[in-house]
Amino acid sequence: MANPVEQFKIEPIVPLEIGGVNVSFTNSSLFMVVAVVLATAFLTLSVKGRALVPGRWQSMAELMYEFVANMIRDNVGTEGRKYFPFVFTLFMFVLFGNLLGMIPYTFTYTSHIAVTFGLAIVIFIGVTIIGFARHGTHYLRMFFPHGAPLATAIILVPIELISYCSRPFSLAIRLFANMTVGHIILKVMAGFIIMLGIAGIAPMVFLGGVTVLEFGIALLQAYVFTILTCIYLHDAIHMH
């Protein structure tokens, strides 16, 4: 049976090296470019007609816009509107990354901890800077909930600090683990189909079900990544 983790190997397509650093254009970069081009084409071309009563494509683009705009308005409030471009880009990037990976023989760039941790650390640093810019040192009050007795501060503050600092890790690992494990399951099941010959009908049915589940998980994980970003923004802007 072929190794199910081989699908995550990064292959350089155009090998480049600048000052000893490997900056080659890899299959991961290729699919990131494909996702960006697809998302941009979808959003710009479908609203080109600017119809007042939207047709099918324009409806879809408007639905996506409203979906993220409502998410921000409900979770961050009206001051969050200035972060809409960032959150929308994040949502589109993760969504297209997850969905492109469902096509056979493609590469899921969100299945690499390098990509997801890069996104998560940017969100974490950005949210921390926003919190300090808005509230100054008062932001540190976030680690000591209002009204708790002073004696508990000794245990409470380290726990809150650790839970705050674990946010980028949990964001990154949640997305990367979901994508990686999903694709490994798909590969292993597909291997069983070939191994069993005629009796491979049973794993094939199971594989059909798991593929539908993986599509759902692709959408859900993009949504959860974005909504957790909105929740962290809310915490930074409004301090609980």
How far apart are the C-alpha atoms of 166 and 175, rounded to whole Å?
Answer: 14
Beta bridge partners of residue 21, listed in sequence order: 18
9: phi then psi, degrees, rounded to nearest 5: -75, 135
Kindly state the tokens that stand for 212.
């539908």
* CA nearest neighbour of 236 among 147, 135, 159: 135
Binding mask of the shown chain, residues 202 to 221, with x at each position contacting other proteins by CB under 8 A: ------------------xx
The distance of closest approach from Cβ of residue 3 to other proteins in the complex, given in angstroms and rounded to an integer, is 8
User: How many residues belong to the site for other proteins (CB under 8 A)?
Assistant: 16
Nearer to other proteins, 122 or 220 (CB): 220
Q: Would you give the DSSP letter of residue 78?
A: G
- 226 makes contact with other proteins (CB under 8 A): no
Collect contacts of 14-23 with beta carbons under 8 A, ≥24 apart.
none
- Single residue of 46, 58, 180, 229 touching other proteins by CB under 8 A: 180
Q: Which residue has the tokens 């590969």?
A: 187
The distance of closest approach from Cβ of residue 164 to other proteins in the complex, given in angstroms and rounded to an integer, is 16
- The 10 Å Cβ neighbour count of residue 239 is 14
Kindly state the tokens that stand for 219.
């959408």
Kindly state the tokens that stand for 200.
């491979």
The distance of closest approach from Cβ of residue 169 to other proteins in the complex, given in angstroms and rounded to an integer, is 10
The distance of closest approach from Cβ of residue 110 to other proteins in the complex, given in angstroms and rounded to an integer, is 14
The distance of closest approach from Cβ of residue 144 to other proteins in the complex, given in angstroms and rounded to an integer, is 24
- 178 makes contact with other proteins (CB under 8 A): yes
- Single residue of 16, 37, 129, 181 touching other proteins by CB under 8 A: 181
Q: Which residue has the tokens 């409030």?
A: 77
166: phi then psi, degrees, rounded to nearest 5: -85, -5
Binding mask of the shown chain, residues 156 to 175, with x at each position contacting other proteins by CB under 8 A: --------------x--xx-
Total count of residues recorded for the chain: 240
The distance of closest approach from Cβ of residue 147 to other proteins in the complex, given in angstroms and rounded to an integer, is 25
Binding mask of the shown chain, residues 1 to 30, with x at each position contacting other proteins by CB under 8 A: --x-x-------------------------
- 224 makes contact with other proteins (CB under 8 A): yes
Query: Which positions ≥6 away from 78 have C-beta within 8 Å?
Result: none
25: phi then psi, degrees, rounded to nearest 5: -80, 110
Nearer to other proteins, 135 or 174 (CB): 174
- 69 makes contact with other proteins (CB under 8 A): no
Which chain residues interact with other proteins by CB under 8 A? 3, 5, 170, 173-174, 177-178, 180-181, 184, 220-221, 223-224, 227-228
